[in-house]
Amino acid sequence: MSTASAFNPPPRILMGPGPSGANPRVIRAMGAPLLGHLDPEFLRIMDQCRDMLRRVMRTSNQVTLATPGTGTSGMEAAVMNLVEPGDNAVIGVCGYFGERVAQMAERAGGTVTRVSAPWGSPVSPGAFAGAVREAGKVKLAGIVHAETSTGVQTPVEPFAAIARDAGALLLVDCVTSLGGVPVEVDRWGADAVYSGTQKCLSAPPGVAPITFSERAWSAVRARETPCNSWYLDMSLLEAYWDERRAYHHTAPISMIYALHEALALVLEEGMEARWARHERNGRALQAGLEAMGLTLHAQEGYRLPVLTTVRIPDGVNDAEVRGALLRRNGIEIGGGLGELKGRVWRVGLMGESSTAGNVLLFLSALGRILREQGFRADVRGAVSAAESRLAGD
């Protein structure tokens, strides 16, 4: 009789577009004894998660919870609950995930206008405003705050003003930004904001934080047709998360434990301190890559500190470089998505993975491998430039 192979995942330094590394406290929390999904003690943990989510997302929204599933479940919950057949939606697309939002809105029966930008630049507020005017009565205006496929950060405020003036609901994808760069739901005036646990919150993938403004929740309650997704119907999910505790699904107990511990760690570090850490390490990495002789892909002034896209030099083999980093150093980075496949590497510094040590280790390892590929990488210059930025010079 055969036996199962030993379960022994190798240690990795996760520096791709997600997941990020998890704090040992989060991993330990997942091993805590299981409770029933209606156990009073588990309900107390859920309530604490809601409170912490509001603090991390900077909102007082009553409807704030975590949907079961990865960040895409948060995206689908936001879109499917707010878009009904015939609704007009204007979606900013500057990468892979903006297009995903647009496709979901179409599947919900919406009439979608895409406002596109090159993959490496943010969507133009002027073009977006023009599209909203031309579309007539717009129900939903959507943008991606942190585009994981391109490393672009889009300023939310101009789009919030456009949506407000048009009487539209503003949807913001914060999957890669929450916990790493400022997310200010109430100050922005955003109506539906969602994220994921596996990026800057540094928990395993499995639940998706989401929050709805009162305006958005009124739109959900006023729907003339049922939500296209039963599992992600927010009216059903909210009835489980609020004081009614109406049965909807068996909650992912261990993932709620992980979310609880991850949010506690974020708040213990302090939001401003956490944002500053990600900014410092991300800019140090970018300075090092440029000093090495590489070219950053995202437009200057709109580069995320938590996810950097760097162009692959001519003559360098994408898969060989990433494979060598994994085999020799245990470092995982990501390749390009969509039209950027084979053209860029995506290097993440999110949550627990955002450390000065990881910046310097990665630059040294990448430089050595690039030299073997025939690229004249200035490794010493790269490390020096990064160290200077880390020291605040």
pLDDT tens digits along 14-31: 999 999 999 999 999 999
| Cα–Cα distance, 256 to 259 (Å, whole number) | 5
Q: At 4, is the pLDDT very low, low, confident or very high (cuts 50, 70, 90)? A: confident
Residues 236 and 96 in one domain: yes
Domain limits at 290? 271-390
- The answer to the question of residue 12 being in a domain is no
Determine the average pLDDT of the residues in 172-193: 98
pTM listed for this prediction = 0.96
On average, the pLDDT of the chain sits at 97
End-to-end C-alpha distance for the chain, whole angstroms: 63
Please check whether residues 330 and 232 belong to one and the same domain: no
Same domain? 244 vs 332:
no
| Bridge partners, residue 348, by sequence | 307
Judge if 306 and 209 occupy the same domain.
no
Task: State mean pLDDT over 333-343.
Answer: 97
> Given a cut of 90, is residue 89 above it in pLDDT?
yes
Identify whether 10 is part of a domain: no
pLDDT of 1 strictly over 60: no
CA 62, CA 43: separation in Å to the nearest integer? 16
> Considering only CA atoms, which of 189, 221, 179, 164 is closest in space to residue 71?
179
Of the candidates 202, 236, 268, which is a domain's last residue? 268
Give percent of the chain with pLDDT exceeding 90. Answer: 97
How many whole angstroms separate alpha carbon 29 and alpha carbon 265? Answer: 12
pLDDT tens across 126-172, in order?
Answer: 999 999 999 999 999 999 999 999 999 999 999 999 999 999 999 99
Write the CB contacts of 216 (distance below 8 Å, at least 6 apart in sequence): 63, 82, 169, 191, 192
**List of long-range contacts for 29-37, beta carbons under 8 Å, 24+ apart:** 29/254, 29/257, 29/258, 29/260, 29/261, 30/204, 30/254, 30/255, 30/257, 30/258, 31/254, 32/254, 32/257, 34/253, 34/254, 35/253, 37/250, 37/251, 37/253
Check whether 2 has a pLDDT greater than 80.
no
With vertex at residue 129, the alpha carbon angle to CA 124 and CA 131, rounded to the nearest 5 degrees, is: 95
Domain count, the chain: 2
The pLDDT value recorded for residue 357 is 98
In this prediction, residue 208 carries a pLDDT of 98
Task: Name the 3-class secondary structure at 144.
Answer: strand
Same domain? 39 vs 70: yes
